[in-house]
């Protein structure tokens, strides 16, 4: 990258379904803003997506859609490296090397593995168990300084640090030890129906999440149905009023108003008015993104050209680190 003094930021998202408000306000909105101050790499993590069974044609389609959506959200492939993970084979090679510096106990303690393994029953896939090592390789390949994460992903960055430190101690300094980066607002948007749980595109209740490509009327309807409480008083209190507090966080993200200003705006007004206004502010925010996305999806050749160009950029950077790791491990380059 051009400016070596800038810190390197790395983040990835799976092409595994509709991106939600939680994805946008929790991560992707910050990504666009970070491009001016950091050397950024943004990865469409299709290798991570196959830890659960995928329909091949749908995975390919969602990869194109993810590329178009990230660009519509403000990721500029001329300023940042926006690439598809499976098109950079250095990720999988470094994963194998790092596997040999990772302990079974570390992986078995990973929260997401414990949660997701129950869904796969007795036939748990090795990929589900081992994907945190692939995630560590993703991060360490690019000498990453900062990894934008929600609080639920901090554990993965800590594992990457542990593996890197173990490798560095065994040989010599090879990998930068990454740090988690937390956005100032919107780092954890909750379900509209179960505000104690994080908003997720895999939610079985479609009213719990808002997808970025949904029809505006559907978005408004979901906010009207959002769970609140019986007090009818707009106030920020995550413990006792999680539903209202979540809606206030969303409104803060769309308008920039402080939580105090939001309380003043809706003082003396009912939840009905509040929920409709939050929904309208989301529609106003998302509409230009939807328009740009539709424009980009009409030119798949352009998307393929961007994928190829950025995969080459990513591979060039990754090779620098991989050659060091191979040599120190004892492989002949």
The pLDDT assigned to 183 comes to 64
The question of whether 301 is a catalytic residue gets the answer no
Please report the pLDDT score of residue 3 as a whole number: 47
Given the residues 116, 187, 241, 275, the one annotated as active site: 116
* CATH architecture label of 8-182+300-329: 3-Layer(aba) Sandwich (3.40)
Domain regions of the chain by residue span: 8-182+300-329, 206-294
Is 119 marked active-site? Answer: no
Same CATH topology for 8-182+300-329 and 206-294?
A: no
Q: What is the pLDDT of residues 263-314, one digit of tens each?
A: 999 998 999 999 999 999 999 999 999 999 999 999 999 999 999 999 999 9
* pLDDT given at position 185: 47
Task: Determine the pLDDT at residue 1.
Answer: 47
| Stretches in the chain below the pLDDT threshold 70 | 1-4, 150-152, 183-187
Residues in the chain, overall count: 333
- Contact present, 292 and 62 (Cβ < 8 Å): no
Residue of 29, 187, 201, 275 marked catalytic: 201
Closest of 269, 257, 264, 224 to residue 243, by C-alpha: 224
Question: Which among 29, 187, 198, 222 is annotated as catalytic?
Answer: 198
Task: Read off the pLDDT of residues 118-136 as tens digits, 9 standing for 90 and up.
Answer: 777 778 889 999 999 999 9
Rounded CA-CA distance 304/302 in Å is: 5
The rounded distance, in Å, linking the Cα atoms of 266 and 234 is: 6
At residue 80, the pLDDT reads: 97
Of 82, 140, 127, nearest in space to 309 by CA: 82
CATH class of 206-294: mainly alpha
298 assigned to active site: no
């Amino acid at each position: 990258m051009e400016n070596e003094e800038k810190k390197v930021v790395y983040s990835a998202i799976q092409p595994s379904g509709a991106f939600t408000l939680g994805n946008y306000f929790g991560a992707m909105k910050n990504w666009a803003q970070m491009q001016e101050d950091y050397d950024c790499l943004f990865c469409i993590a299709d290798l991570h997506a196959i830890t659960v069974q995928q329909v091949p044609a749908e995975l390919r389609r969602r990869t194109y859609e993810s590329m178009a959506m990230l660009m519509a959200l403000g990721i500029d492939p001329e300023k940042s490296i926006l690439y598809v993970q499976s098109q950079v084979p250095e990720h999988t090679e470094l994963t194998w090397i790092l596997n040999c510096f990772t302990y079974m106990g570390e992986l078995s303690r990973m929260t997401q593995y414990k949660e997701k393994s129950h869904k796969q029953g007795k036939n748990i896939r090795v990929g589900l168990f081992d994907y945190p090592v692939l995630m560590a390789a993703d991060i360490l390949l690019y000498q990453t300084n900062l990894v934008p994460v929600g609080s639920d992903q901090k554990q993965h960055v800590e594992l990457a640090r542990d593996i890197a430190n173990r490798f560095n101690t065994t040989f010599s300094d090879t990998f930068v030890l990454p740090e988690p980066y937390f956005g100032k607002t919107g780092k954890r948007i909750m379900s509209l129906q179960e505000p104690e749980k994080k908003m997720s595109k895999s939610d079985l209740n479609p009213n719990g999440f808002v997808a970025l490509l949904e029809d505006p009327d559907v978005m408004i309807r979901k906010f009207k149905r959002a769970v609140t409480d019986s007090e009818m008083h707009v106030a920020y209190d995550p413990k006792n009023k999680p539903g209202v507090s979540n809606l206030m966080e969303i409104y803060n993200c769309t308008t920039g108003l402080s939580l105090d200003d939001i309380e003043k705006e809706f003082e003396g007004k009912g939840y009905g008015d509040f929920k409709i206004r939050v929904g309208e502010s989301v529609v106003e925010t998302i509409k230009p993104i939807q328009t740009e996305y539709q424009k980009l999806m009409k030119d798949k050749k352009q998307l393929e050209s961007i994928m190829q160009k950025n995969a080459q950029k990513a591979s060039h950077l990754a090779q620098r680190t991989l050659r060091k790791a191979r040599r120190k491990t004892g492989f002949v380059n």
